[in-house]
Structure 1
Amino acid sequence: MSSGYCSLLFSVILSLRLVAVESQTDKLAFTMADKHFVVNLKWDWQTEKASRLPMIMHWRKLALEHLAAGHTWRARWKLKSIVRESHSMSNIANAYLMMAKSYWLSDDFYKVSEMLRTVIDQYAAYVDFDQVIRLEFTVAREYFQGKTDFFGSSYDPSAIEIYEHIRSRVPYHPLAIRSTIEEALLFVKSGQYGKSFQVFEQFLYYYPTHPRGLEVRIAYANAILDQLYTQEGNVELEQSLEQLLQEIDTLIRKKPQSLAEVEKLHQRHQRWQSDHLAYLIHFYTRGDQRDLAAAQHYYRQLLARYPQSEAARKIAREFAGLWSKNE
């Protein structure tokens, strides 16, 4: 058999082996609460340099074995070698995803998030992007959103960072919409109302007809009511609230299943209005702003509009003598 024929035969066999290897796909499993994710890793051997290919394949094999055995630092050592030596963007992306898995096994979700962000920002075209972005969202939702940080916040700021990252990378992806809602609600939960209002407004601007629009408007209106109790006389907030209530009343006709929530919101709004009138009455009966005529004006409004409210009963008991003297 001639040397040329042997060389040709060897090349054919090698190419067939590479095709066989190329068709293989590793599957990385991530389980969170009741959610199970599988990220597919498709290895690309054809773009690797021939001199490096055996090493890259060997490091991949060892990394998988180390992950299976729970030897996470050993797996990362091999994977970092792939990142350093590989000429294939797909293989580098796969190495980062496997490192995310290694940090996952070590319960280091900050590093998991960092690895996923690297893949999304630098190697999005070389992975199953939808799988990776869903995994990043779930990390924020399951591991950071309900945590308490060093300062006692009711969530870990990493959740906000991930939501903002998703929104910036894929603004019209369904998860970007969910990220916007989750971010706004987290700001409300932590008392950062100004930031929550900005995110709510962004949602209403970019997704004005979204099916969850009614839900978002109800949450936004409740957040404004929370803030109004600490910012009496904020006319701009009051105007925003009135506009939201009008929009909610329009939308509820199309989604009557949310009627109970809307009624609860209106009741809360009425309670705030009665409390606000009570605040004005107190304001004009004390200190340098004493103006009994103005106080009586608001007292009459309170009795006319909310006669059965707790605020009306309290004011009547507290100022009964004062009103009788100045009638």
Structure 2
Amino acid sequence: MNLKKVFFVSLLGISLNFSLHSQETSVQDYYSYILRSHQEQDWISLLNICEILIDEYPNTPFSEEALYYLGVGYYELNDYTMANNTFSEYLKKSDSPKFFESAIKHKFFIAESYRNGAHRRMFHMKKSPKIVSAKEDAIEIYDEVISSLPYHDLTARSLFGKGIVQRDLEDFRDSIETFQSLIKRFPKHECSIDAFMEIGQTYLAQCNTKNLNPEIIALAELNLSKFKMAFPSEEKISELEGVLVQIKEIFAKTLYETGKFFERRKQKDAAIIYYTKVLTVFPETPTAQLCEERLKNLQS
């Protein structure tokens, strides 16, 4: 009997005579304590007793369930790297694991933690530090959830989380495609409302003065139109309209700055063309008011 095993047997006060009791009885005693540790939320003890059972009785059905509880213990102690690895190992043990949906749910929340900034262990190893960005890992886990529970609420939420991470990584096209997939697969889900909003935000994130793509405006307008059609009474419509105005403002400001450039160079006619274009194409933007003032000065 190894020292860890001796320690926990004595700690629990379990009167086990390992020379007299059968292996099955011993396994059941350990499994009972696993359940007790889980119920009492004693996560450190849960990890240790699970490891003992898995090590001592690897070929029993209890070992498979102990692996699940081991993952739970790691998860509750915020060791998401080991939790995810353990749940993955558990899910591969059989074609129909007893705690299948619960394991997938835990993996989903691990992905959510990674999306929100939690780091994973370097090299995915138990004793390595938690210093590595886990955004890519989040996408991989979201994909596992999506393929495992294709019609489940968790899949809608996974598609949403995946789209956010892709945008964070500046994979704008993939992000928009993921959000659109969510809307198509779950058209009435509350996440679809947020997906329309995030598509607008993704188009906004794509706008930069160094490389403005005029197609973004048309795509953002189309997204808004589809949103109104899908959710005609949704309060967030006005918010998405505001995002579209922000996008147009970026383009309007670029034209305005170009007009000012020509104005400084005493090229009045060229400046008027740019200021007028802003008033014609982007009249609802704040920059349109500035252009109107510049035109009054130039034409006075």
Q: TM-score, normalised by structure 1?
A: 0.64
Give 1:193's aligned residue: 172
**Does residue 84 of structure 2 align to residue 113 of structure 1?**
yes
Q: Is the Cα contact below 8 Å between 2:47 and 2:70 reproduced in 1?
A: no
Alpha-carbon distance in 2 for matches of 1:139, 1:53: 34
**Does residue 104 of structure 2 align to residue 133 of structure 1?**
yes
Deviation of the 1:83 alpha carbon: 6.1
CA displacement, residues 131-172 of structure 1 (integer Å, 9 cap, x when unaligned): 33223323433x43433548897x755433322220122222
- Which residue among 117, 131, 134 is the counterpart of 1:147? 117
- Secondary structure of the corresponding residue to residue 150 of structure 2: coil
Q: Is the Cα contact below 8 Å between 1:79 and 1:96 reproduced in 2?
A: no
Give 2:150's aligned residue: 171
**Does residue 218 of structure 2 align to residue 239 of structure 1?**
yes
Moved more, 143-152 or 211-220: 143-152
Note closer, same or farther for the CA distance 1:317–1:137 as it changes in structure 2 (3 Å cut). same
**Does residue 197 of structure 2 align to residue 218 of structure 1?**
yes
Deviation of the 1:313 alpha carbon: 3.4
Alpha-carbon distance in 2 for matches of 1:271, 1:105: 42
- Secondary structure of the corresponding residue to residue 198 of structure 2: helix
Give 2:66's aligned residue: 95
Alpha-carbon distance in 1 for matches of 2:95, 2:272: 66
- Which residue among 225, 228, 244 is the counterpart of 1:269? 244
Q: Which has the larger radius of gyration?
A: 1
Note closer, same or farther for the CA distance 1:228–1:207 as it changes in structure 2 (3 Å cut). same
Alpha-carbon distance in 2 for matches of 1:61, 1:252: 51
Give 1:248's aligned residue: 227
Q: Is the Cα contact below 8 Å between 1:183 and 1:196 reproduced in 2?
A: yes
Q: TM-score, normalised by structure 2?
A: 0.69
Alpha-carbon distance in 1 for matches of 2:280, 2:214: 22
Letter in 2 for 1:146: N
Aligned residues: 263
Give 2:45's aligned residue: 71
Alpha-carbon distance in 2 for matches of 1:108, 1:171: 27
- Which residue among 219, 228, 237 is the counterpart of 2:207? 228
Note closer, same or farther for the CA distance 1:313–1:294 as it changes in structure 2 (3 Å cut). same
Alpha-carbon distance in 2 for matches of 1:73, 1:207: 38
Q: Is the Cα contact below 8 Å between 2:200 and 2:243 reproduced in 1?
A: no
Moved more, 106-115 or 210-219: 210-219
Give 2:276's aligned residue: 300
Q: What is the RMSD computed on CA atoms of the aligned residues?
A: 3.7
Alpha-carbon distance in 2 for matches of 1:243, 1:276: 17
Deviation of the 1:82 alpha carbon: 5.4
Alpha-carbon distance in 2 for matches of 1:147, 1:66: 29
- Secondary structure of the corresponding residue to residue 58 of structure 2: helix
Q: Is the Cα contact below 8 Å between 1:274 and 1:302 reproduced in 2?
A: no
Deviation of the 1:62 alpha carbon: 5.8
Note closer, same or farther for the CA distance 1:194–1:151 as it changes in structure 2 (3 Å cut). farther
CA displacement, residues 87-137 of structure 1 (integer Å, 9 cap, x when unaligned): x4xx34302112113324544222112212222344350314223322332
Note closer, same or farther for the CA distance 1:225–1:217 as it changes in structure 2 (3 Å cut). same
Give 1:85's aligned residue: 59
Deviation of the 1:218 alpha carbon: 2.1
CA displacement, residues 240-270 of structure 1 (integer Å, 9 cap, x when unaligned): 22221211121232xx1x23x2112213312
Q: Is the Cα contact below 8 Å between 1:282 and 1:295 reproduced in 2?
A: no
Q: Give % identity.
A: 17
Alpha-carbon distance in 2 for matches of 1:56, 1:292: 89
